[in-house]
Each structure stands twice: as structure tokens, then as C-alpha cells.
Chains A and B, each alone.
Chain A
Amino acid sequence: MRLDPVILFFLLGFAARFWDSDLKLPEALYETLSIYLLLAIGLKGGVELAKHPMGTVLPQAAAAMAMGACLPLLAYPALRHLGRLNGFDAASIAGHYGSVSVVTFAVGVSFLVKREVAFEEYMPLFVALMEVPGIVVGILLARMTGSAAAPAVLARPAIQWGALAHEIFLGKSVVLLGGGLAIGWFAGPSGLEPMSPLFFGLFKGVLALFLLEMGLVAAARIGDFRRAGPFLIGFGVITPVLFGAIGVLVGRATGLSVGGATLLGVLAASASYIAAPAAMRIAIPEANPTLSIVTALGVTFPFNLTLGIPLYHEIARRLIFP
């Protein structure tokens, strides 16, 4: 099966940066494209959500959120004891892996559409709901275990919960995904019809451009691989495979189709690099952001895009829905 062309855009960006090309997308374009993608994904999910009874969707959504909250609890002990990271770094990285990557999800959808595999189209709801719980659990882990490890000489400023809650719940990804879901749900397919050439027709092209940029950004992290060390690089590959399998299992248990369970696997396997880094920088300033970003963006993101998504689909198809 040929690679999805959007992945080729990612590889182009990655190669360009790797060989030191002067290609650079303006930061304002990166920002514009990410706003577009978040809104478009939310709108699409909102329209589909209106077609389904809440009685089916809510238990699945609750299971997805609970899973997002539990994943950091699995990652943390591995980071702390196998990786010998300090409590702050372990908690921060665990939080990144409990949260989700919207773009990985979009590529997962594109993968299923290309193979004509049906899935529950209201799944963007799960993306919006799974952004936050993992981050909150990561922060709580840092509060509970990290404080013991803090050198007493460092004056520790009190955590500003108000600012933190603001950052987590009003971060752009939650606002745009949640807002898009609500608008799509209220407006319905007929209400969104005039906007559909922009939000749905151009979606794949915009995703391709965004992935070109993400290739550049991901490849820029390679320079930090040495600082992350072999454990975190291995962690960035093994964790998504384990979490992806857990996601597919939870999907099956809550009655999702093969396609839906694959996407829940993709969400579980993905690590946040928009909402989580911003929240963690404020909530756990002691954690070294380089470590979580190299792992989430430099290792797990490219892995999921190229090998992970097809793998989770195979796990769903062969092992869990035989």
C-alpha cells in the first residue's frame, strides 16, 4: 500500500531540515494552519455528533477520558524507575503522553478514509475531551512526588492554580476544538454548507502544508537527541505501541467499530505537543521541557505518522477484532 501523500509532505519537511535547507515557514502561517485544522476537525465532529444519540456517545466519551487520565499513571513509574528520571521530568513527560496530538488523529482519519474503513465520525469529541485529563494527572503526579525531590535551597513559588486552570481549559486547542464541536452541533450540515468548501474541501491540502511544517519542527529536535538519551528515545517508540493497543482494547470494550477503535488507539498512542508543553511549562517549571518535547515531537510523532497508525490498525483488525 502506498504511503498517504500527506506523510510525504512530512518527510519532505523532515529531510529539508535534516539537510539544513533554508526552507522555513513563517510562524504566523504555522499558527494560522493550526487554528484552521483545530476548527475544521471540531466542526466535522460536531455535525456528526448531532446525528448520534447521546446514550451511545457519552459512555464511550467517559471511557476515553478515563483512559487519558490513567495512561500517565502507567508511564510515570517506567520513566521514574526504568529511566531514572527525576519526579518533575517523569511527571511532565507522563502528562504529555496522557494528552493527545490532534494532527496525529487527523492523519489517522486520513489513513482510514483512504482505505475505506468506516469509523464513528463524532470521534473529534474524544480528541477534545482527552486533551485535558492526562495533563491534570501529570501535574498532580509532580505535586505529589516531585516536591520531595526539590532541593530545599530553591525558593519554590506557590503554584498559581487560577492561571494554570486558565492555561489548561482555555488553551487554543481546547477552545477551538470544543468551539468547533459546539458550532458544528448547533449549525448542522445545512448551516455549515456555505463554509464546507473552506473547512472540509481544503482540509487535506492544509493538513499537507501543516505536516510539511511539522516535519521541519520535528527534525529540528534531532539535535537534542543526545540530551534525551537512549532510554527516552526507546520510550518514545515503545510507549505508543503499548498505549495504542490499550486504546484499541478500550475502543472494542466500549462498542466502537474497527475504525473507531483504531482511532482511539491512535489517540492513546499520541503525545500532546500543543496543549501539554504550554501547561507543563507553567505547572511544572522544574521539568526540563527539552526532554518531553524531544520524546513527544522528535520520536513519537514521526513514529506514529509513519509506522504507528498502520500498526494500530493491524492490531485492531487482526488481534482485537479477529
Chain B
Amino acid sequence: MNTHPKKLLVLIGEYALEKFLIRDAKRFGAHGYTIADVRGGGSHGTREADWEGSRSIRMEVICDPEVASAISEHVLRNYCANYSVSMYVTDVAVLRPEKF
């Protein structure tokens, strides 16, 4: 199996940020993304997704290291002060590097 190294950037945050995160990810060069509805809790309280005000999303972006770092720095700068956001980056291996 011939694999290629990429980064997986995972952002977990309030649903209110979804539109902005998609726009930002594309702007910084991500080719694609996957979003799922999730629920959970942390230092900002619990978000149970029981009504529209407490919806959360998990967004996954597989991309080059520079793109992951540009997106995550933008998110840190613009959203993390006022919104509940968790972020992490891991190494992944993909089969078709041109797709990401």
C-alpha cells in the first residue's frame, strides 16, 4: 500500500461557527471537509444538542501541514476568545494525495 503523509485537523465547536469555519477552511486552501453533529461538555458548560442554541459540530479537514496551521491559527485568533472551540491535529496517511 502506497500512502502519503497529511494532517488531520479536527475542530469541535458551536454550531454558530459552522458557516464561518467552512468558509475559512476553503479560503486557507482545504480541498474538503466533513462535519458531524455532536454533543459534549467542557469548561464552557455542557452542550446537549437538545435545541438550536446548544448544537455543536465536529469538523474534520485532511490537508497539508501549512494549511492546517493557517486554519488553526486563524481560528485561535478569531474565535477561541469568545466561542467554545476544541482543536487538535494528528498525522494521517492517505492513498490519493491530490485529493487533499
Residues of A within 8 A of B (CB): 24-25, 27, 30-31, 154-155, 157, 163, 213, 216-217, 220, 224, 273-274, 277-278, 281-282, 285-286, 289-290, 293, 297
Q: Which residue of A27, A154, A155 contacts B51 across the interface (Cβ within 8 Å)?
A: A27
CB distance from B16 to the nearest CB of A (A): 4
Bound-state Cα–Cα, A31 to B15, Å: 15
A274 touches B52 (CB 8 A): yes
A290 touches B52 (CB 8 A): no
Given known contacts A24-B50, A27-B51, A281 and B16 CB-to-CB distance under 8 angstroms: yes
A278 touches B51 (CB 8 A): no
CB distance from B40 to the nearest CB of A (A): 14
Q: Is B83 an interface residue (CB 8 A)?
A: yes
B77 touches A278 (CB 8 A): no
Given known contacts A278-B16, A281-B14, A217 and B45 CB-to-CB distance under 8 angstroms: no
B side interface size, CB within 8 A = 19
CB distance from A94 to the nearest CB of B (A): 18
CB distance from A150 to the nearest CB of B (A): 10
The contact string, 1 if C-beta is below 8 Å from chain A, for chain B 48-66, is: 1111110100000000000
B78 touches A27 (CB 8 A): no
The contact string, 1 if C-beta is below 8 Å from chain A, for chain B 32-58, is: 000001000000010011111101000
Contacts of A297 in B (CB 8 A): 53
Q: Which residue of B20, B37, B50, B81 contacts A217 across the interface (Cβ within 8 Å)?
A: B50
Bound-state Cα–Cα, A233 to B55, Å: 24
Contacts of B20 in A (CB 8 A): 163
A217 touches B51 (CB 8 A): yes
Q: Is B19 an interface residue (CB 8 A)?
A: yes
Q: Is B3 an interface residue (CB 8 A)?
A: no
A216 touches B50 (CB 8 A): yes
Contacts of B79 in A (CB 8 A): 285
CB distance from A296 to the nearest CB of B (A): 10
Q: Is B82 an interface residue (CB 8 A)?
A: yes
A285 touches B83 (CB 8 A): yes
| B51 to chain A: closest residue by CB | A217
Contacts of B51 in A (CB 8 A): 27, 30, 213, 217, 273
Q: Which residue of A31, A277, A285 contacts B53 across the interface (Cβ within 8 Å)?
A: A277
New contact pairs (15) apart from A163-B19, A273-B51, CB-CB < 8 Å: A27-B50, A30-B50, A154-B81, A157-B78, A216-B50, A220-B50, A224-B45, A278-B16, A278-B52, A278-B53, A285-B79, A285-B81, A285-B82, A286-B82, A289-B53
Contacts of A290 in B (CB 8 A): 45
Contacts of B78 in A (CB 8 A): 155, 157
Bound-state Cα–Cα, A24 to B82, Å: 29
Contacts of A27 in B (CB 8 A): 37, 49-51, 55
The contact string, 1 if C-beta is below 8 Å from chain A, for chain B 1-44, is: 00000000000001010011000000000000000010000000
Contacts of A274 in B (CB 8 A): 52
Bound-state Cα–Cα, A46 to B95, Å: 56
Q: Report, nearest first, the 6 A-B pairs whose CB atoms are least far apart.
A: A285-B82, A281-B16, A277-B53, A157-B78, A217-B51, A217-B50
Contacts of B49 in A (CB 8 A): 27
Most buried by B among A30, A155, A281: A281
A273 touches B50 (CB 8 A): no
Most buried by B among A24, A155, A273, A289: A289
A155 touches B77 (CB 8 A): yes
